[in-house]
A and B are shown apart, each in its own frame.
Chain A
Amino acid sequence: MKFTWFNLMPWPYLPDDFREKHRSVWVDIDSKLFDPAKSHEVYNMYMDLLEYASTLGFDGVGVNEHHQNGYGIMPSPNIIAAGLARRTKDAAIVVLGNSIALYNPPVRVAEEFAMLDCISGGRLVAGFPVGTSMDTNYCYGQIPALTREKYGEAHDLIKRAWEDPEPFAFNGRYNKLRHVNIWPRPIQNPMPIHIPGGGSVETYDFCIDNTYSYSYLSFSGYIRAKALLQGYWDRVAERNTPDESPYRAGFAQTICVAETDEEAERLYSEHVSYFYNRCLHVYPGFADAPGYRTIKTIQSGALSQYAPPKGGYGTLSWKDLVEQGHIIAGSPETVRQRMEELIKGLNVGNIFCLLHVGNMPKDKCMYSTKLFAEKVMPKLRHMFPDYADDDRFWCKPLSRRVTPGDLPAERDLAGLMAGKD
């Protein structure tokens, strides 16, 4: 199993009456709600937490990209990842990912990911999302019906920029580049790649064809995810894929651990409520620009399975959220049991653990994270013995890596210089 501690970086100061007074947490969220001075603390707290998680045995620490979004103040995950590359030692840096249709030209992603891979010593796990319609169409102005074609071209360009040892010309429809020849080059070749998807049939096939891991990053939990991931596994079988390795798939799950089930509710319910009530308050007009999804996907009926529950999240109590599996919360034993159900039920080898939730303060987040790392994770390690050696979807760091800050002492400089003469 691969466990990644994942942080969306929600803005923790959305007001109590956010739902009533504001129409959307995303796209046209009120800029007055953002306080740059407070964000200094928020960003550093979130980066501290990512670094902390990396010391507890998580396989990776994860970041992602959103724009104009009150629950994800990370328009550039690469900036956070650069900090993590320096401040963490062994954990994978999971950037899930860069919305490659948005970069002009997309070789920028090839370069930045190569830099992250080189700085971290080969610890990068790269993600290439199409991007949500909110981010890609409404914030970044991409034409919905052309987004996937542009995405596909960006993908081909980045892959070739990494892999082709010679400079090449790229005559794409959206990118005309006479000289592609990126410096630096990534350490890893091939790069492990995860594709966040939301039920598009085309994305299933894209992952299968390229041996990429399919990640379903939902907030509605493992029970509701069953149909969607089953669709993926059915497709894997249909396409005669050589194996059904659980590492071909990943899933994001909100998790809250305490000593007891009661304590979990007492400690975390307000933060969970903050997340589901305020952070997911998105104006429905921004959900799906017409043309963004393919007709095939709409016709497959998959959309209804990951739409918010009827009546919205706002109506769900802690009990509802737990029972319906939107969140997995409780004592280490409760969480272990439900994680086991999740992992087996969905057949997923990559878990993106959302252990920071909504406006959770750092002490509670550390508490929950530490309990998960020490009392839950070890018991879930060996769920798929048949695929224990499947390393196709994870990073392969250099065995000898430098320690950041490894400069000689200033006082030794004169002697070193003298020695060199």
Chain B
Amino acid sequence: MSQTRIRVLCIDDEARILRALKALFRDMDVLTTTEPSEAIAWAAQHDVDVIVCDQRMPKMQGIEVLREVKLAHPRAMRILLTGYADLNAVLGSVNDGEVFRYIAKPWDNTELRETVQLAARIARDAPVVQDKPVDEFDRETARKQVGILVIEDDPETQQRMREILQPHYQVRFVTSPERALTVLEQHETGVVISETAGQHGDFTALIKSLKQYHPHIATVVVTDRANAQVAIDLINEGQVFRLLLKPLRMGSCRLSVDAAVGRYWQLKQNPAAAKRYFVAPRPDAQIPSWLSGSLLQRIRLLPQRLLGMARAV
């Protein structure tokens, strides 16, 4: 009996929050602590399914805790529960913590419970992909096979990315979602790098829809329109792999894209793991008119062959 119960670990510096969570998850096995170091040790020790962690704590920031937990116990799904939506925390939760969801305090009980249940199901069903760089042989193959698509209409950033990525990857540049789909239909694409918006409007709806149907494609969002809420939505509805701010720095850009290609390559070998990046549209999500028609249909019908998922089914 107790083996089928969800095991969740909660970390917060406020004991009353922990008691509230324990009561809310009363049908699960709940471990709670105010000590970040204890949490890091417990996660693997008790083989927990889900970790719910506060961001602002006096001894350690939540994203640091989650980063450590990710290394010590990668199977567990990570949820950040925080009353603060400051951009650095959001960026850190993507780039360091790779969180499954970013949930605001005060939370909605039903939503939080459902999120934890979903996360636990995924933690048990989906295998973990290792975060290791693609090895020499694979890197050559990946370079020949896997394309990178950049959706960006700022010529300066395009130029910068060309300099950084062209020597190592097949990079294709487009400025609109329409053209992006044409590229996706014709070439195997492992990584999509995108602004949040361009002259042709918002790109985030495309990023989110793409993830819904093709979770193994890694998305790297590069933006100068830094806004915490947009970033949170990109986590919760788009499971964005990395979030970078402009101006682009050579080092972090290369590292992020290498890691993204590595992630795609791992998921290609191990398609069941893509479940870990599951997203569903928000019930109240507004799908822009340009996406709701044929474009969405095209996203849905993207040939599996080109997505490198031929072996998946």
Q: Do A and B come from one complex?
A: no
B positions within 8 Å CB-CB of A? none
A positions within 8 Å CB-CB of B? none
